[in-house]
Structure 1
Amino acid sequence: MAQKPSIPKGTRDFSPVEVAKRNYIIDIIREQFRLFGFQPIETPSFENSNTLMGKYGEEGDRLIFKILNSGDFLNKVDDALYEAKDSGKITPSISEKALRYDLTVPFARYVVQHQNEIDFPFKRFQIQPVWRADRPQKGRFREFFQCDADVVGSKSLLQEVDFVKLYDKVFTKLNLKGVTIKMNNRKILSGIAEVIGASDKLIDFTVALDKLDKIGEDGVKKEMLNKGISEAAIESVKPLFSFEGSTTEKIDKLRSMLVSSEEGTQGVNELEYIINTIKEVPLETAILDLDVTLARGLNYYTGAIFEVSPPETVKMGSIGGGGRYDDLTGIFGLKDISGVGISFGLDRIYLVLEELGLFPETVLPSTKALFINFGETEALYCLKAVNMLREDKIIAEIYPDSAKMKKQMGYANKRNIPFVVLAGTSEIENNTFTVKDMQAGTQKEMDLKELKGLLR
């Protein structure tokens, strides 16, 4: 007995309707990317392992899908290494490539490889799938699309302002109101770690803090303690767990807290500039919020960081994120190239729009007319009409087989095709067609010109 087919956990098949809805989102994002001056590039689905490993922190590295070397990949493994059964040590010997974890690190690699062909500042966008060996759950998949936009070669904070505007414009076009763009700065987090005497634990501090909305205050404290951060240090950052007020009030509180930290103060100044500039070019529908617990668990961020939350009525994780990385290309040998970028979470945005019923009814380009197949002569007559309709960008098709009328009409019903076109001996002689309105149940004889007018 044949084994029942299945797909790996965390992956999905997409129906025609789902693909159409996804393309609706992608088309709006792509349109805005172009409108804001970004150019498209694409990179391979897999990279050399050393391109990806070590760029996302310890947690990120564990989620990278490794690809086994071709052929007898165990043949070159040292016997002692094999006997030790240490997967961490044996992996470099049997796997030299990995599926990309995100689009940002491959982009940094692209910039370094093509630096002599690029005009800086370079604005690129990329819409491609990525893979993460995560635990699948609602809104979290192992294979999913990212829609990224980045600028490299400019340290101007106007880029951050532009990205906030880009987020706002896309979600406005999607009619998704009540989206919150959370913003923080890694310099502020570094300053806080410095002030509380935990600079040597910066990564552990930020990774734990970033989980506040998931594991709560007690969970964050426990994780920080487990990472060796002192109780006194944790107690001194307690105000961060309930940091409230307007953006101006939050800025003032941070400035007071970080008065002794030069780096932290710089981060506050950067955030203040972005917030004040946005006030001069107000957002249409999105809400900008300063969130001091936002850390983004990726090591390469050095300045402003962003995370986008859906409307409060939807229980869903972030639907976008990004930030400033001042020297990401330095890991590939190209120093002092600052960059900033954001990403849209296509799959989660899809789920949010679906839950809120925000997809337009016209998203799926459905067939307008199905021509009934009565036989070879009639099919050829109809085929000529179908081709002429398609020339006018009218979606039409002919049933491929000369099947029973009931079967062909049933097919039109199941596909929700609004018009069925019939052509027999009489219609061919008169150069006309009999058109049935499937919803009204009425039918009328007309020529091709009238048919075109009806289907438009």
Structure 2
Amino acid sequence: MAQKPSIPKGTRDFTPTEMVRRNYIFDTIKGVFQMYGYMPVETPAMENLDTLLGKYGEEGDKLLFKILNSGDYLSKVTGDDLSARNSIRVTGQISEKGLRYDLTVPFARFVVQHQNEITFPFKRYQIQPVWRADRPQRGRYREFYQCDVDVVGSNGLYNEVELIQIVDAVYRKLNINVVVKLNNRKVLAGIAEIIGEAERMVDITVAIDKLDKIGLEKVNLELAERGLSQSAIDKLQPILALAGSNREKLAMLSDILKDSEIGLKGIEELTTVLDLSESVDLNTNIELDLTLARGLNYYTGAIFEVKALDVEIGSITGGGRYDDLTGIFGLNGVSGVGISFGADRIFDVMNQLELYPENVTAATQVLFVNFGTREAAYCLRLAATLREAGIRTELYPDAVKMKKQMAYADKKGIRFVAIVGEDEIKDNSITLKNMLQGDQKTLSMDEVINLIRTSV
């Protein structure tokens, strides 16, 4: 017996019903993006490895999927490298490309490459899959979609507030209760400075970013393993434990960071974002979270994460400001800020909470029964008329028993079956059967259209 086919761990197939639901999520997010003036772009699934490497930190680099060079990919590898098992050197010789890890770094490359064709500030959205060689688990996949929105070429903190407004609008439309977690990398730099470990900010942020996942004890252990002194770890504890309202946290933090210029700059930016956010009508709460670090190295200012309140799952949206991401590709001084909606986690949340509206469907609304060649040819014209009226319509392709055709309509959730035989052709009418209620009526075409439209 042939082995049953399978797909790689961390990837998923999606049925037609699931795709309809996913498209509802994509369309909702896309619609909000467009309302704020963002325009779509796309970039290739693969990028040159030198575009990707070194942009996500040491751990991120390990999660990049590398693509083997075409042809004899071992032709440039020496026996010494193979025998020494020097994987980093060998990888550089056998692989020049990789699957994109996120949409932000490819976007920075796009901006630099097309800088003479775009208008700054440049506002773009991008909805495409990304790949990470992560350990698959609930809510974490190796292939997943990101829905990114970014603006580059502007330093204004109004952009951060606009992103919070976008988050609020998207989740209000999707009916998901969320909280926006907010922090600032300058504050984290100030904390690292105050505890005497300014040079180890990356180590600190990578560790404390895992606080929700592994707990404080393991975070402290990792900090020690990364070389932080016990004195620095001890000084960090009360900062991570700060509690109270956003304003109270900022006040306490201002005192803690009074001797750190960069830390006070971060507090100033947080205060501005919170002040501006209070001036607009938001349904979503914003919570200052000093443990939020966003482990990616390119963030330099405000950082965001969005958590669903009614489901235990990781963040479903995240992002932040990057002051010079394009600088790594030769275009200096172009600040940007953006967020990414994790479509697959949003999909999981909506499935678990059953949040889809009843009318979210791409299912056929009307199925014409096929009685034979003459009747089917006549029904083709009727089906075309219904489609022009915006009604999703099928003609059953084979003249088989009525029972089989009705079973097909029932399994696909088709609400109406149109029966057109000799009598209907003669009277220029359609007998329409309601599969939910079981009744049927003989109607004109206009009556059929009106009935189906009012039954949505």
Three-state SS of the structure 1 residue aligned to 2:20 is helix
Equivalent residue, structure 1, for 2:233: 234
Looking at structure 2, the residues matched to 436 and 266 of structure 1 have their Cα atoms a distance apart, in angstroms, of 68
Which consecutive residues of structure 1, in runs of 5 or more, have no partner in the other structure?
Answer: none
SS in 1 for 2:89: helix
The residue aligned with 1:442 is 439
Offset, 1:225:
0.5
Q: CA RMSD in A?
A: 1.0
1:355-394 equivalent positions in 2, closer than 5 A:
355-394=352-391
Deviation at 1:354, TM superposition (A): 1.6
Q: Secondary structure at the match of 1:234?
A: helix
SS in 2 for 1:168: helix
2:215 match: secondary structure: helix
Question: In the alignment, which residue of structure 2 is the partner of 1:307?
Answer: 305
User: What residue is the counterpart of 2:141 in the other structure?
Assistant: 141
Aligned to 1:403: 400
Counterparts of residues 285-324 of structure 1 (less than 5 Å): 286-311=284-309, 313-324=310-321
2:281 matched residue in structure 1 = 282
- C-alpha distance after superposition, 1:399-445 (max 9, x if no partner): 00011111111111111212111122222222222222222222222
Q: Secondary structure at the match of 1:67?
A: strand
Cα distance in 2 between the residues matched to 1:432 and 1:118: 56
Partner in structure 2 of residue 264 of structure 1: 263
Write the letter of the residue equivalent to 1:375: G
TM-score, length-normalised on structure 2? 0.98
In structure 2, the partner of 1:95 is 95
Establish whether residue 333 from structure 1 lines up as the match of residue 321 from structure 2. no
The 5-angstrom pairing of residues 95-114 of structure 1 reads 95-114=95-114
Q: Deviations over 1:111-151 (max 9, x none)?
A: 10011112111111111110000111111111100000111
Quote the residue 1:247 is aligned against.
246
- Note the C-alpha offset of 1:306: 0.5
Aligned residue for 1:130? Answer: 130
Identity of aligned residues (%): 57
1:84 equivalent in structure 2: 84
User: CA–CA distance in 2 between the matches of 1:33 and 1:438?
Assistant: 38
> How much has 1:155 moved relative to structure 2?
0.8
SS of equivalent residue, structure 1 residue 96: strand
Query: 1:374-405 CA deviation, whole Å, 9 max, x = no partner?
Result: 11001101111001100111111110001111
Letter in 2 for 1:437: N
Partner of 2:412: 415
- Partner amino acid, structure 2, of 1:352: V
Q: TM-score, normalised by structure 1?
A: 0.98
For residues 281 and 287 of structure 1, what CA distance do their matches in structure 2 show?
Answer: 12
SS in 2 for 1:374: coil
Query: In structure 1, the residue corresponding to 2:298 is in which secondary structure?
Result: coil
Task: Provide the secondary structure at the position in 2 that maps to 1:107.
Answer: helix
For the residues of structure 2 that align with 1:246 and 1:388, how far apart are their CA atoms?
Answer: 60
Partner AA of 2:382 in structure 1: A
1:153 and 1:425 mapped to 2: Cα distance?
68
Which residue of the partner structure matches residue 427 of structure 2?
430
Which 4+ stretches in 1 moved above 4 angstroms? Answer: none
Residue deviations 1:91-114 (CA, integer Å, cap 9, x gap): 010000000000000000001001
Structure 2: gaps (5+ residues): none
| 1:57 maps to 2:57 | yes
For 2:181, give the aligned amino acid: K
| In structure 2, C-alpha distance between the alignment counterparts of 1:104 and 1:115, rounded to whole Å | 16
Q: Is 417-426 or 105-114 further displaced after alignment?
A: 417-426
Count of aligned pairs: 453
Q: Which amino acid aligns with 1:119?
A: T
Please give the secondary structure, in 1, of the residue aligned with 2:340. Answer: strand
* 1:195-234 equivalences in 2 (<5 Å): 195-234=194-233
For 1:404 and 1:335, how far apart are their aligned partners in 2?
Answer: 70
Q: Is the 8 A contact 1:217 1:241 kept in 2?
A: no
Aligned residue in 2 for 1:42: 42
Q: Distance in 1 between matches of 2:124 and 2:306?
A: 20
Cα drift, residue 3 of structure 1: 2.0
